[in-house]
């Protein structure tokens, strides 16, 4: 089974770095890029580990978090709760990102995005 996922951005607490996939998504508005930057860095500051925002093959947006095997400070429960908070508080942003991906990357028509029949 082949997974075609594309990383939009992420932050790494171990290296204290932020990554934005400018090559593929540099045309996103600067305000959205900055909001993603803040979101990712704050996540890793609070929970640690590595946090990524990923486009799924179907256009969905996933928030992935992981930790190094020997990171005893990383709390999976806190990470899952924070992902839930982000999904709730940033739902509009995540839905907009999904719409962007479906429109500009997957080239889906409007009828496909809204679920309406043509």
The Cα-based distances of 63 to 9, 38, 114, 116 in angstroms read: 10, 14, 23, 28
Number of domains in the chain: 1
Beta-carbon contacts of residue 82 (< 8 Å; ≥ 6 apart): 43, 46, 47
Query: Does residue 1 lie in a domain region?
Result: no
Residue with tokens 């005893």: 72
Query: Does residue 80 lie in a domain region?
Result: yes
| pLDDT tens for the chain, residues 1 to 118 | 446 999 999 999 999 999 999 999 999 999 999 999 999 999 999 999 999 999 999 999 999 999 999 998 898 999 999 999 999 999 999 999 999 999 999 998 765 545 554 4
Query: Does residue 41 lie in a domain region?
Result: yes
β-partners of residue 11 are 18, 51
Range of the domain at 104: 6-114
């Amino acid at each position: 089974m082949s997974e075609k996922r594309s990383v939009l951005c992420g932050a790494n607490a171990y290296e204290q770095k932020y990554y934005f996939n400018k090559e593929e998504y540099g045309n996103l508005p600067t305000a959205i890029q900055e909001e993603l930057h803040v979101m990712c860095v704050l996540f890793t500051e609070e929970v640690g580990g590595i946090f990524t925002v990923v486009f799924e093959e179907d256009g969905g947006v996933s928030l992935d978090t992981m930790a190094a095997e020997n990171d005893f400070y990383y709390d999976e429960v806190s990470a899952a709760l924070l992902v839930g908070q982000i999904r709730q508080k940033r739902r509009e942003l995540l839905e907009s990102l999904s719409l962007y991906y479906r429109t500009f990357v997957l080239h889906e028509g409007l009828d496909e995005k809204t679920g309406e029949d043509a």
